[in-house]
Chains A and B, each alone.
Chain A
Amino acid sequence: MKLLSTCVLACSTLMATAAVAQTAAPPQAQRLYLRSLAATCAHCHGTEGRAVAGEALVRLAGLPKDYLLTQLMAFRTGDRKATIMHQITRGYSEEQLEAVAAYFAAQQ
C-alpha cells in the first residue's frame, strides 16, 4: 500500500476503496462509497478535504497519506492528545482510516 502515494488519482482511489468495500460492487460504486466515507470528514475539514483558508481545522487535501494515517491512528490510540478527534477516529476501522488517508492524499 505504500505505493499508493505514487499512483495517479484513479488508481489510488480504486485501490483504497477495495479496502472498505463490503461487497463485490463495481469500481464506479466503490469510488462512490469512498467519496461518501470521506464526506463524513468534510463538515469540519472542508469538502474533499479543502478547508476554508486560515481556520484552525486543517486542510487534509494533498497531505501525504502516511502522515495522515499516522495522525489518525495516534488520535485513535490516544497518543496524540485531542479535544475531539480521539472520539471521532474510534468510530472508524483501521481499514477505513487508511482509505480516507489515501483519498485525501490524492486530492489537490
Chain B
Amino acid sequence: MQRRQLMQGLGLAAVATMSGCASLSGARPQVLVVGAGWGGSTVAKYVRMLSDQRVDVTLVEPNEAFVSCPISNLVLSGRRQLADITHRYDQLVQRHGVRLVRGRVEAVDPVQRRVRLADGSTLAYDRLVLAPGVDMMWDGVQGLQAAHAQGRILHGWKAGPETVALRRQLQAMRDGGTYAIVIPEAPYRCPPGPYERASVIAAYFKREKPRSKVLILDANPDVTSKGPLFKKAWAEVYGPMLEYRSQHKAVAVDAATNTVKFEIQDDVRADVLNVLPPMRAGDIAVKTGLANANARWCHVNFLNFESTVAPHVHVIGDSIQIAQGMPKSGHMANSHAKVCAAALVADLTGLPVNPHPMLTNVCMSFVDDEHVIHVASVHEYVPTQKTFRTIGGSGGVSDVRSDLEAVYTQGWARNIWSDMLG
C-alpha cells in the first residue's frame, strides 16, 4: 500500500517516471489487471504463482464478489440460488498476495503506463491486462436500452441482481404464458448459453407451469452450438412446448406491449421477453482504442495476448477478436489468462516466451434439470499462421445427453472457480 499511497500523493508526471523506472531500477515488476471475472482473476493468480511471487499484481474490480455466468441459468430455473454461484475474492489476496482495489477504471494512458479510476486516483503499471468482458451494443435494437433501464426487458447476460430479477419475472408469469429469448448474431458471449437457458426454463415450466411455452428467436441461420444435441433434447423432452425459429434478427422492442420487432419476420409478443443485445468488447477496451476489429473486438498477438494497438497492454477473454473455433466462454477466458500470465512472467523475468502455447475449452450445457451435453476443443499456437488452431482429431461433442455429465458439470464448476479464485 505504501507505493500506491506515495504515488497518489505525487503528481502524474512523477508517477509515470516512477513506473518507468520500476523494472529498470531492479524494483519488483508491476502487473495491473482490470476486471476480476473469468480471465482477470485467473491471470492475477497465475502471474503470482508462475513468477513464484516475484511479480506484483494489482487487480481492480468494481464488484464486491464474483458471480458466475456459467450455472446462472440454473438460478433462472430455480435449481440454484444466487449464493451458490457467488464467490469472494479473499483467497486471491490472502493466499496469493494479489492486491485487490475496489473501483472502476475510467481511462488508460498507454504512453505513460497508468490508469485513472472513477474516484480520480491513478495506478501505474509495467504491464496492463484488460479483462473487461463484453458490453452491449444497445443501438442495435431500438428501444431496448430504455426498456432495460426500466427493468421491463432484461438480458440477464451478466450474472448478478439481473439474474434474480429475470427469475422473478418468470415466477410472476401466469401458467399458459410465453417466455421468449431473442439471440443476436454470433459472435456473442457463450454460444450455447441461450439454448441452455431456453431448455432449463422449459424444464421449469414443465415442472410448475405446464401450459406455458418457450420460444427461441434466433438471428442466426441455425443453432450456433451443439445444434443436433439441443434439437434432439427439445423434441424428445419438451415437444410443442418449446419452439425454435431461426433468422429472427431483432431490430426494435416495444416495452409497453412486450413486443419485439424483427428485420424481416412478423412481430412477436411474449409475457416474459428476454432480449440479448448484440455485444462488443468491454467499454474500457473500446475507450482505449483497442477495438480494432470492426470497431467491436480487440486484435491481439496470440503468443502473449498483447494488443496489436498498444504495447504493454494485454487483452484477454470475451473482448478479443477470436481465432478460428475459439468460443467466447469463461473456460476459454481462463485459458487465455494462463497463456498471458506465463508470457508476462517470462517477459518480466528475462526468459523467452513459450513459442508453443496451448488452450483448451469445454462448454457444458444443461438440456433439462438433470442432463448435460458438452462441446470440447484443444488449440495450439501455429507460428507460421500466428494464431491458434484446433488440433485435428481432438475435441468433439457428447454422444448423448447424460446425467453423468451433469455430475461432471458440477465438478467442472467447483474446480474452475477454485482455479480462478482459490
Contacts and interface: CB of A to CB of B under 8 A. Distances in A.
A33 to B, nearest CB: 5
Most chain-A Cβ atoms within 10 A of its Cβ — which of B46, B50, B394, B402? B394
Nearest to B374: A84
Contacts of A84: 362, 374, 376, 398, 405, 408
Given A52-B418, A88-B378, A43 B408 contact: no
B411 A55 contact: yes
A47 B411 contact: no
A88 B360 contact: yes
Given A43-B331, A92-B378, A32 B345 contact: yes
Nearest to B358: A40
B359 interface: yes
A50 to B, nearest CB: 8
Nearest to B355: A22
A80 B272 CA distance: 46
Given A57-B412, A84-B376, A42 B351 contact: no
Given A25-B351, A32-B354, A83-B405, A44 B342 contact: no
Given A52-B414, A83-B404, A91-B391, A42 B419 contact: yes
Contacts of A87: 376, 378, 394-396
Contact of B416 (A35, A44, A56): A44
A51 B360 contact: no
Nearest to B353: A29
A39 interface: yes
A42 to B, nearest CB: 5
Interface stretch (B227-235, B245-253, B311-319, B332-340): B332-340
Chain A interface extent, by class: 20 to 34
B407 A45 contact: no
B126 to A, nearest CB: 18
B422 interface: yes
B415 A36 contact: no
Contacts of A6: none
A76 to B, nearest CB: 10
Nearest to B418: A52
B351 A45 contact: no
A44 B405 CA distance: 13
Interface string A72-94: 00000000000110011011100
A46 interface: yes
A39 B331 contact: no
Contact of B358 (A29, A37, A42): A37
Given A29-B346, A84-B374, A36 B339 contact: yes
Interface string B28-65: 00000000000000000110011000000000000000
A40 B46 CA distance: 12
A40 B331 CA distance: 10
B410 interface: yes
Given A29-B352, A88-B360, A88-B376, A44 B412 contact: yes
Nearest to A85: B376
B394 A57 contact: no
Contacts of A57: 408, 411-412, 415
Given A52-B414, A84-B398, A92-B358, 15 more contacts: A23-B352, A32-B354, A33-B342, A36-B50, A36-B339, A36-B357, A43-B335, A47-B422, A52-B418, A83-B402, A83-B404, A90-B378, A91-B358, A91-B360, A91-B377
Closest 3 CB pairs of A and B: A91-B378, A91-B394, A57-B411
